[in-house]
Structure 1
Amino acid sequence: MKIRELMTTDVQCCAPDASLQQAAQIMADIDVGIVPICSANDRLEGCVTDRDIVIRAVAKGMDVNTTRVGECMSSAMVSCSPEQTAQEASNLMADHQIRRLPVVENGRLVGIVALGDLAVVGIHENEAGFALSEISEPGIH
């Protein structure tokens, strides 16, 4: 099955100059733990997670109202294409130990696919299980 058939297409993103509070409000409003960071024309520049906000800003005493998302976001993004398969996406998730994968087409964010999206489709239980087992492995540091 192609990622295009599994991905969430109604993705809320914010600009790198948005405050961390604004990104956190988006997360709260739509009940997610990640917000893609996009520049003009929906060009993916990175992502910020609830964990990024806590570890990279709050724990350091930074003000979430004045600190910009661009200061705390992850910019080294792993993404996939809508034409890739669920197996390819789960392999990317496992290889990079991530649970959510932005979907990019012609440089533009067109969706996001989460480990849960793979798990809800019965034929992909093995792919989701494999990805989760690899994601859950402790990294070698």
Structure 2
Amino acid sequence: MRIAEILHRKGSDVTTVPPETTVRSLLGTLAEHNIGAVVVSADGATIAGIVSERDVVRSLHARGADLLDTPVSEIMTADVRTCAPGDRVDGLRTTMTEHRVRHLPVVHEGRLIGIVSIGDVVKSAISELATERQHLVEYLQGKY
């Protein structure tokens, strides 16, 4: 399965915030959209970074409550791993595991076109296994 298929199923909406957004505002955005990370982008198309709930928790522990009025640009991950629509999901599993990331922005021709989470990857694996199982059952029942 390719990343494009995941985006086709889930949609290509990506929540972004500009770098100057405060952590307090970021938390509202995460809660409002029920998501775990957002792409930091000045224009909604290019990627400046990514910031997750984990980034907030770790920074909050280190810096205290004053962090809430800090811009997300100070806690975001600037070296963002990305994927392309034509990439295979099994390769994405490896990338996510090896680099301990749960969200990968999808980029096409230098522009942000979607985001894939570890949950999306797990759902695709479950779907593939269910399809395989169904084909095996049909084969064993002589339907092929």
Conservation of the 8 A alpha-carbon contact between 2:30 and 2:38:
yes
Equivalent residue number for residue 4 of structure 2: 4
Partners of 1:39 and 1:105 lie apart in 2 by 18
Between Structure 1 and Structure 2, whose CA radius of gyration is higher?
A: 2
Conservation of the 8 A alpha-carbon contact between 1:44 and 1:107:
no
CA shift, 1:63, in A, is 2.5
Partners of 1:84 and 1:124 lie apart in 2 by 19
Q: Secondary structure at the match of 1:113?
A: strand
**1:123 has 2:128 as partner:** yes
Question: Given the two structures, how large is their TM-score scaled by the length of structure 1?
Answer: 0.79
CA RMSD of superposed structures (Å): 1.9
Equivalent residue number for residue 89 of structure 2: 86
Equivalent pairs, count:
125
Summarize the Cα distance change of 1:68–1:58 in structure 2 as closer, same or farther, 3 Å threshold. farther
Partners of 1:96 and 1:80 lie apart in 2 by 13
Partners of 2:110 and 2:18 lie apart in 1 by 16
Gaps of 5+ in 2: 131-144
More helix by share: 2
Conservation of the 8 A alpha-carbon contact between 1:86 and 1:124:
no
Which deviations, in whole Å up to 9, do the C-alpha atoms of 1:48-73 show, x marking residues without a partner? Answer: 11121121145412524521010110
Q: Secondary structure at the match of 2:69?
A: coil
Summarize the Cα distance change of 1:103–1:59 in structure 2 as closer, same or farther, 3 Å threshold. same
Gaps of 5+ in 1: 126-141
Letter matched to residue 2 of structure 1: R
Report percent identity of matched pairs.
30
Letter matched to residue 35 of structure 2: V
Letter matched to residue 4 of structure 1: A
Conservation of the 8 A alpha-carbon contact between 1:57 and 1:72:
no
